[in-house]
Amino acid sequence: MGRVVRATQTQTRAVESLARAIGYADVVDAIARGVDACDGDGVPGVWCRCDGDRGCAVEVIRASGKGLTGTLPRDLERGSLSALRTLDLSSNALR
C-alpha cells in the first residue's frame, strides 16, 4: 500500500480558521472529526494538489451560495494558504 500524503497542519488550521470565520459549519465539522483538509470526499468545497513526499496544498475553496456570514481571517493575508488559486465565496453575506 502506498504512503498517504496529507495536508500540513498549517494548511488544515488555515482552512478551519477560514471556515469558522465565515460560518462554514460543514467544513468545521469535517475537520473536527479528523478528516484531512485535502480529503476531497470528506471536506466539502476544498480541493488540493498533492506532490509526492512534499505533501498536499489547498488550491481551491468553493463555497458559493452557502448562506455564509462573517469576515475573512488574517490567515489568508499572511499566506497560510499560499497555494490557493481560487477562493469562491460569491453569493454569500460576507464582510
Helix axes 9-22, 25-32, angle to 10 degrees: 140
Overall pTM > 0.95: no
Reading the block at residue 43, the C-alpha cell is 471536506
C-alpha angle 3-33-1 in degrees, rounded to nearest 5? 15
- Residue 93 C-alpha cell reads as 453575506
26: nearest Cα among 11, 12, 45: 45
Q: How many CB atoms lie within 10 A of CB 76?
A: 17
Q: Encode pLDDT of 38-54 as tens digits.
A: 876 777 888 888 876 66
- List pLDDT tens digits, range 46-86: 888 887 666 788 888 899 999 998 888 765 756 788 888 99
Asked if 95 contacts 70 with a C-beta cutoff of 8 angstroms, the reply is yes
